[in-house]
Amino acid sequence: QARRIFARATRSRSSMPADLARASTTDLLAELKRRMESPPKKNIILVGPPGSGKGTQAPLIKDKYKLCHLATGDLLRAAVAAGTEMGKAAKEVMEKGGLVSDEIVIGIIKDNISTPDCGNGFILDGFPRTVVQAEKLDGMLTSEGVGHIDHVIEFKVPDATLVERICGRLIHPASGRSYHEKFHPPKVAGKDDETGEPLVKRKDDNEETLTKRLDAFHKQTKPVVDYYAKQGLYSPVDADRKADSVSATIAAILAK
């Protein structure tokens, strides 16, 4: 009876184990319980400009749904440091001052989604940025048999708000601690709370540079958003609110 229940429960989740007949009833029931209690697999793409709150929400989504968080910039650096096949290819291109190809980036994503950490699905952050990349990503997911994209969530914040958020940022270089002139000021102006050392502004954290980056982001992102919207996967989120309100909206989207 346990084997029949296990067989029915696993048909939609994975192929039948070859040694099913030799497994004990206790082991079968334990595996069945584990699989039935696991959260449904979710593959999510987060879209949003700098300062939109992705960095706050991604870890919360990751922990709640037991997903892996794949930020392409971090993945590239990790692959280069680890000396993987794709990492070596990326390093060669970067050392020549070139742009890493879509194939290399997707290859690095493929390497990561096959790990146990991504067993329940993944959060992709920073990719895809073009429709061609989105199509190649879909093709890879299909060929690897790891499902498909389930949700594409865009963090919507007015550009003027983003400029205010980012241009007011202050950083303690040694620790990475961040402050904000308006929203999270240090106890002493211009000084780190813990060390008293000077805080700095990043060179790119100025209105002129940020306005150009936001303009480029919107032009680049719209076709990708439209691509997923046609598939019924796109959900915009008003991210110009408190973090817990944004989290509640995202939870409602992911519950669908």
- Residue of 164 and 35 predicted with greater confidence: 164
Q: Is the pLDDT of residue 29 over 90?
A: no
Task: List all residues 6 or more positions away from 223 whose beta carbon is below 8 Å from its beta carbon.
Answer: 130, 131
Confidence grade of residue 1 (pLDDT, cut at 50, 70, 90): low
Which H or E run contains 2?
helix 2-10
| 121-172: pLDDT as tens digits | 999 998 999 999 999 999 999 999 888 999 999 999 999 999 998 899 999 9
pTM here? Answer: 0.76
Confidence grade of residue 11 (pLDDT, cut at 50, 70, 90): very low
The pLDDT of residue 31: 60
Confidence grade of residue 22 (pLDDT, cut at 50, 70, 90): low
| Ordered DSSP codes for 99-132 | PPPHHHHHHHHHHHHTSGGGTTEEEEES---SHH
Confidence grade of residue 103 (pLDDT, cut at 50, 70, 90): very high
Strands 42-47 and 169-171, how do they pair? Answer: unpaired
Distance from the first to the final alpha carbon of the chain: 33
| 188-245: pLDDT as tens digits | 999 999 999 999 998 888 899 889 989 999 999 999 999 999 999 999 999 999 999 9
Biggest CA pair distance of the chain:
70
Residue with tokens 């940025």: 129
% pLDDT > 90, the chain: 59
Mean pLDDT, residues 5-30: 55
Catalytic residues: 54, 129, 169, 202, 213
Q: Is the pLDDT of residue 96 over 90?
A: no
